[in-house]
Amino acid sequence: MASSPHPGIPGYTLLLKSHSSLDVGVQGTRLTESSGAKEMKSGEVLDTDLLVRLLMPSNAEALCLVRAMLERATELLHFEENQSRAIVRSVDEALANVIRHAYQGKTDLPIEVTCKRLRGDPDGTHVTGLEILLEDSGIALDPAKLKGRPLEDLRPGGLGLHFIRQSMDEVEFSHKNGKNQLRMVKYIVPATVTKPEGE
């Protein structure tokens, strides 16, 4: 594969697991197909519920790649259009916050985006959905600052966290192994079918 356009980090590394088990690697904006199993790291096995793992630079220009990837992932899982838009906007907002706050606007620092399918089961103990995990090595999260400001405080900005929490079913912040982690989950809500009167 071609070398990264961003020195110091591996670049845009995108691994897609499709229905035909074709793995696609992306470096920069060039697509190249690879045959056989893709080894993520030495000894790591590709998770069968892994949809995409993307290593991107902390650069706002890279957000369009994430938005496009998420749109396709939500289509694959059959999310309704309004749910898909909410997921894409939530992740976009979260990544913008990582760039702005955790990395203080510094570009070309690594952010890992992982999307996994959550599988439902017939007895309902697990629900089908999408899990998105964002990891960065920026300034450690301060939970007191993650509460957002009151909605009554009318001024520009600062409502992204409210939007994320309202749009996603689960939002969890943590700091593990020297990395900030934001885990967001959206469950697929089946479309309600309206029956005609008299049935």
Is the pTM higher than 0.85? The answer reads no
CATH code of residue 31: 3.30.565.10
Residue 192 in any domain: the answer is no
Instruction: Give 103-147 pLDDT, tens digit per residue.
Output: 999 999 999 999 999 987 777 766 889 999 999 999 987 766 666
Closest CA to 171 of 72, 86, 52, 51: 86
Q: How far is CA 37 from CA 51, 69, 77, 133, 193, in A?
A: 14, 21, 23, 23, 41
Q: How many structural domains is the chain composed of?
A: 1
What number is the average pLDDT over the span 28-40? 35
Q: How far apart are CA 136 and CA 12, in angstroms?
A: 15
Considering only CA atoms, give the Rg of the chain. 18
Q: Which domain holds residue 63?
A: 13-144+164-183
Q: Mean pLDDT over residues 180-199, rounded?
A: 74
d(CA 24, CA 28): 13
Whether 58 contacts 108, CB under 8 Å? yes
Residue 77 pLDDT > 80, yes or no?
Answer: yes
pLDDT of 49 strictly over 60:
yes
